């Protein structure tokens, strides 16, 4: 039985569901995990996640397909990225098999919260790994908690595929060249919050970051990766050590190659945006969000009309959504049945 939820009206917000799944790592091993109803967590006041930010997270989506199958989109890719982030933050990696098992168990216990096919919604899965052992000197904890919570969601930015405006605020950076920008830690998002609130207050839903060293090259948005379609129709996305390797971007590069669109992953000088035919933000939460205008100081770069979605972005969006909802063949084996 599906829940009485106005699926079509869902935005990207937190909502409680039946339970989450939680595992504890102690004395060198993960326990078997359990489904927990209570959305609160009790931890030691000295927990390393609270003091030294020893934490990381993931984001992936589960879809109800046309034929009624419930699938997760590339969960192994998110599991693999979480292993890399855990190593970088000196936490015990969650083996990918355990990550997939957690996913099956938590989705199974919350099936009625997966938005039905045709509503445009999906179930967002948020895995979280935190140092829960007390640590007052700067060092890794001796105890960790891994959990996965789920909730039904709709579009991240109001209006779905509706284009948004972005701003570059040169007074703030997201990630240093050899910092943690390439792994999914909360600190990267905390680093963006101040500028993000300022941008929102001044009328821009999202801010775009340039490289922290020279402010010369495009890096990524606060929430997601950067994609530009050149006037020659090439898919270009930044190659940088401080950009998160997005699963959505990786998937769309493959979709682009399948559609015969040339793909380049390289440095993108800021000035090149002026020449772009289409620009979008890419990520699990934002999917493909077109960007119609980018402001930096007194320069306003108009990429399209506020209501126009470029043809290449539309094709990429339709293809990836088609695969996720089981309307198009899943030729790369990305949909993982639950």
| Continuous H helices in 3-157 | 48-52, 75-88, 96-108
For position 223 contacting ligand COI by CB under 6 A, the verdict is yes
Give the interface segment with ligand COI, choosing from 37-45, 268-276, 283-291, 313-321 (CB under 6 A).
Answer: 283-291
- In the bound state with ligand COI, the residue whose beta carbon lies nearer, of 73 and 235, is 73
Cα separation, 277 vs 105, whole angstroms: 44
For position 284 contacting ligand COI by CB under 6 A, the verdict is yes
Cα separation, 87 vs 336, whole angstroms: 25
Using CB atoms, what's the residue nearest to ligand COI? 59
Which tokens go with 238? 């930044």
For position 289 contacting ligand COI by CB under 6 A, the verdict is no
Least Å from the CB of residue 10 to ligand COI: 15
Cα separation, 209 vs 217, whole angstroms: 9
CA dihedral 119, 77, 270, 156 (to 10 degrees): 20
Contact 328, 319 (CB under 8 A): yes
Give the interface segment with ligand COI, choosing from 47-55, 82-90, 282-290, 325-333 (CB under 6 A).
Answer: 282-290
- In the bound state with ligand COI, the residue whose beta carbon lies nearer, of 47 and 247, is 247
- In the bound state with ligand COI, the residue whose beta carbon lies nearer, of 255 and 301, is 255
Least Å from the CB of residue 283 to ligand COI: 4
Least Å from the CB of residue 123 to ligand COI: 12
Contact 113, 49 (CB under 8 A): no
Give the interface segment with ligand COI, choosing from 42-50, 129-137, 157-165, 281-289 (CB under 6 A).
Answer: 281-289
- In the bound state with ligand COI, the residue whose beta carbon lies nearer, of 192 and 312, is 192
Cα separation, 276 vs 313, whole angstroms: 13
For position 283 contacting ligand COI by CB under 6 A, the verdict is yes
Cα separation, 210 vs 105, whole angstroms: 40
- In the bound state with ligand COI, the residue whose beta carbon lies nearer, of 284 and 295, is 284
- In the bound state with ligand COI, the residue whose beta carbon lies nearer, of 186 and 233, is 186
x-or-dash pattern for ligand COI, window 241-270, by CB under 6 A? ------------------------------
Which tokens go with 146? 């891994």
DSSP 171-206: T--S--TTSSTTS--HHHHHHHHHHHHHHHHTT-SE
Query: What is the phi/psi pair of residue 246, to 5°?
Result: -80, 135
CA 263 to chain centre: 21
x-or-dash pattern for ligand COI, window 298-337, by CB under 6 A? ----------------------------------------
Least Å from the CB of residue 331 to ligand COI: 24
For position 59 contacting ligand COI by CB under 6 A, the verdict is yes
Q: What is the largest CA-CA distance in the chain?
A: 58
- In the bound state with ligand COI, the residue whose beta carbon lies nearer, of 25 and 156, is 156
Contact 303, 278 (CB under 8 A): yes
Q: Where on the phi/psi map is residue 185: left (φ > 0), alpha (ψ -120 to 50), or beta?
A: beta
Least Å from the CB of residue 37 to ligand COI: 24
Give the interface segment with ligand COI, choosing from 192-200, 277-285, 297-305, 320-328 (CB under 6 A).
Answer: 277-285
**Contact footprint for ligand COI (CB under 6 A):** 59, 223, 283-285
């Amino acid at each position: 039985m599906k829940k009485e939820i106005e699926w079509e009206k869902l935005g990207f917000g937190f909502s409680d569901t039946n339970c989450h799944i939680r595992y504890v790592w102690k004395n060198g091993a993960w326990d078997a995990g359990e489904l927990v109803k209570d959305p609160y967590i009790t931890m030691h006041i000295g927990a390393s996640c609270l003091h030294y930010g020893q934490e990381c997270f993931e984001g992936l989506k589960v879809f109800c397909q046309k034929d009624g199958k419930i699938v997760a989109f590339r969960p192994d890719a998110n599991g693999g990225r979480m292993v890399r982030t855990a190593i970088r933050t000196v936490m015990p990696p969650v083996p990918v098999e355990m990550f997939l098992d957690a996913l099956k168990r938590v989705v199974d216990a919350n099936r009625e919260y997966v938005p039905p096919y045709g509503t445009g919604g999906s179930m967002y899965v948020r895995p979280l790994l935190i140092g829960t052992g007390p640590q007052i000197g700067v060092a890794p904890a001796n105890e960790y908690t891994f959990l996965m919570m789920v909730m039904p969601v709709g579009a991240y930015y109001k209006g779905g595929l509706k284009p948004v405006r972005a701003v570059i605020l040169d007074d703030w950076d997201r990630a240093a060249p050899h910092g943690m920008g390439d792994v999914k830690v909360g600190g990267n998002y905390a680093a963006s919050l101040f500028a993000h609130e300022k941008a929102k207050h001044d009328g821009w839903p999202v801010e775009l970051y340039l490289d922290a060293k020279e402010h010369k090259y495009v890096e990524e948005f606060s929430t997601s990766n950067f994609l530009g379609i050149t006037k020659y129709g090439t898919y270009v996305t930044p190659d940088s050590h401080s950009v998160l390797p997005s699963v959505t971007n990786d998937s769309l590069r493959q979709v682009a190659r399948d559609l015969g669109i040339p793909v380049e992953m390289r440095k993108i000088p800021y000035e090149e945006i002026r020449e772009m035919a289409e620009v979008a933000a890419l990520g699990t939460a934002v999917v493909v969000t077109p960007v119609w205008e980018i402001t930096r100081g007194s320069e306003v770069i108009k990429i399209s009309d506020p209501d126009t979605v470029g043809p290449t972005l539309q094709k990429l969006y339709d293809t990836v959504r088609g695969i996720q909802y089981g309307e198009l063949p899943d030729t790369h084996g990305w949909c993982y049945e639950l």
